[in-house]
Amino acid sequence: MGSTTLDEQNFRHWCQLLLQQSEQLKDGWSWEAVQVMTFITVTCVTSLILYSLLPQSLSVVSSEADLVNGEIDIDDEDDGVWTISEGSSQVLQYEYHILYSCSYSTPVLYFRAFTLEGRSLSLEEVWSCVHPSFRLRLQKSPLSTITLQEHPLLGQPFFMLHPCRTEEFMKPVLQAAQHKHRPVNYVLSWLSIVGPLVGLDVPLKYSIQLRPAASFMASPD
């Protein structure tokens, strides 16, 4: 296993392990199959906070740039000033699908989001739910990382988290796994990194169970 990508067989294997853990944790992941292609999916109802960047912080940056006319130290403006918009915590239903991308040889995350009344969220609304620690950087990239796509198997519109950076952020994990001769669940690790961007929290228990010292005699929580 010298590569930082994933072949389809291993993808299924890791998904299977994840599903086993999910069953123990009653976390709700399940297999779906469309013709011969399979993917795993989970639907969560979560209360997500809608973040917004204070307009003032943006204008401060630009006016300082005009005045100073040179490098401004943006350290203090790093991440901007995030605030939680008044009364903008929403209960939403998110549906996540993990598919295998043949072109990137990595998992890829598709999702859609609805209000409890069944209205789909717009791309802009989805962006406002992205955690502040990621949002600025995601939005600054020339290729927007979250885009609206046609689900490869279902044909319906889904949001997709672009997989082109996957290899890069998986590299440290895979190198460490190789080095320590300790296998790591690619799909689980990948999900723990990309999930938080789009409101999916991977419970710590998934990772605790992977520890060698973990006891499997513990009663399910």
Partner 1 sequence: MSDNAESPTETQKEDTPPPSDESTISEEKKKIDVLLKAVGDTPIMKTKKWAVDRGRTVQSLSQFISRFLKLDASEQLFIYVNQSFAPSPDQDVGILFDCFGSDGKLVLHYCKSQAWG
Min CB(72)–partner 1 separation in Å: 11
Residue from 83, 89, 115, 122 binding partner 1 (CB under 8 A): 83
Please report the DSSP string for 7-76 in residue order.
-HHHHHHHHHHHHHHHHHHT---EEEEETTEEEEEEEEEEEEEEEEE-HHHHHHHHHHHHHH-S---GGG
State yes or no: residue 59 binds partner 1 (CB under 8 A): no
By annotation, the residues acting in catalysis are 164
Q: Which is nearer to partner 1, 152 or 163 (CB)?
A: 163
Min CB(206)–partner 1 separation in Å: 8
Cα(125)–Cα(128) distance, integer angstroms: 5
> Residue 53: how many CB atoms within 10 A of its CB?
17
Q: Which is nearer to partner 1, 59 or 120 (CB)?
A: 59
Q: CB under 8 A: which stretch of 2-10, 17-25, 116-124, 173-181 binds partner 1? A: 173-181
> Residue 167: how many CB atoms within 10 A of its CB?
16
State yes or no: residue 132 binds partner 1 (CB under 8 A): yes
State yes or no: residue 141 binds partner 1 (CB under 8 A): yes
Listed residue (46, 139, 131) closest to 94, CA to CA:
46
* Residue 6 C-beta-side C-alpha neighbours within 13 Å: 28
State yes or no: residue 140 binds partner 1 (CB under 8 A): yes
Residue from 46, 131, 153, 154 binding partner 1 (CB under 8 A): 131
Question: Under rule CB under 8 A, how many of the chain's residues touch partner 1?
Answer: 49
Listed residue (148, 147, 17, 167) closest to 101, CA to CA:
167
3-state secondary structure of 120: strand
Q: CB under 8 A: which stretch of 5-13, 35-43, 112-120, 171-179 binds partner 1? A: 171-179
State yes or no: residue 207 binds partner 1 (CB under 8 A): yes
Listed residue (197, 202, 181, 191) closest to 97, CA to CA:
191
Contact between 64 and 71 under an 8 Å Cβ cutoff? The reply is no
Question: Which residues bind to partner 1, rule: CB under 8 A?
Answer: 54, 74-76, 78-79, 81-83, 131-134, 136-138, 140-145, 162, 164-165, 168-169, 171-173, 176-177, 180, 182, 184, 188-189, 192-193, 195-196, 201-202, 204, 206-208, 210-211
